[in-house]
């Protein structure tokens, strides 16, 4: 399963690769990273159809916000699941994300056990 993480903070790549090292090593997961909304769209557009089944995006990023990216993904690639990640667990961002088609909403610091359950639910078709 191919998952895309989008965050303007580059150090998240090392953290996520460490937390998912067993799943990556076993071949169960393939992770890709984009550091802006536009870079994420470029990756998604590079394959037809995109091989990504899930996108996790930070909300607060310079340029295109995660919520804007969510709307673009849902309009262009409706089969791809998207969950949002935010340092701010405010109700307004949550409501906007969920009404725009987000599957889930995570706050930082990310609860990786909850995140792994979310990914496992996708693979089991729940």
Structure tokens at 22: 């067993």
Count the residues in the chain: 126
pLDDT at 120: 87
pLDDT at 124: 67
| 46 pLDDT more than 60 | yes
pLDDT at 88: 82
The contacts of residue 103 (CB under 8 Å, 6+ apart) are 81, 82, 83, 118
Residue 93: C-alpha distances to residues 25, 72, 80, 86 (Å): 34, 17, 20, 8
Residue 57 host element (H or E): strand 52-58
Q: What is the pLDDT of residues 77-101, one digit of tens each?
A: 999 999 999 988 789 999 999 999 9
Residues 31 and 5: beta-carbon distance below 8 Å: yes
Task: Report residue 61's pLDDT band, with 50, 70 and 90 as the boundaries.
Answer: very high
Domains detected in the chain: 2-123 (3.40.50.2300)
pLDDT at 125: 58
pLDDT at 5: 97
């Amino acid at each position: 399963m191919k998952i895309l993480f989008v965050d303007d903070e580059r150090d998240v790549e090392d953290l996520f690769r460490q937390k998912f090292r067993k799943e990556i090593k076993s071949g169960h997961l393939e992770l890709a990273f984009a550091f802006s909304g536009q870079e994420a769209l470029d990756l998604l557009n590079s394959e037809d159809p995109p091989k990504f089944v899930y996108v996790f995006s930070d909300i607060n990023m310079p340029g295109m916000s995660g919520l804007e990216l969510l709307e673009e993904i849902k309009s262009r690639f409706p089969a791809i699941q998207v969950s949002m990640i935010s340092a701010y667990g405010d109700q307004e961002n949550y409501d906007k994300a969920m009404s725009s088609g987000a599957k889930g909403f995570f706050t930082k610091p990310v609860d990786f056990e909850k995140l792994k359950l979310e990914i496992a639910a996708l693979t089991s078709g729940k």
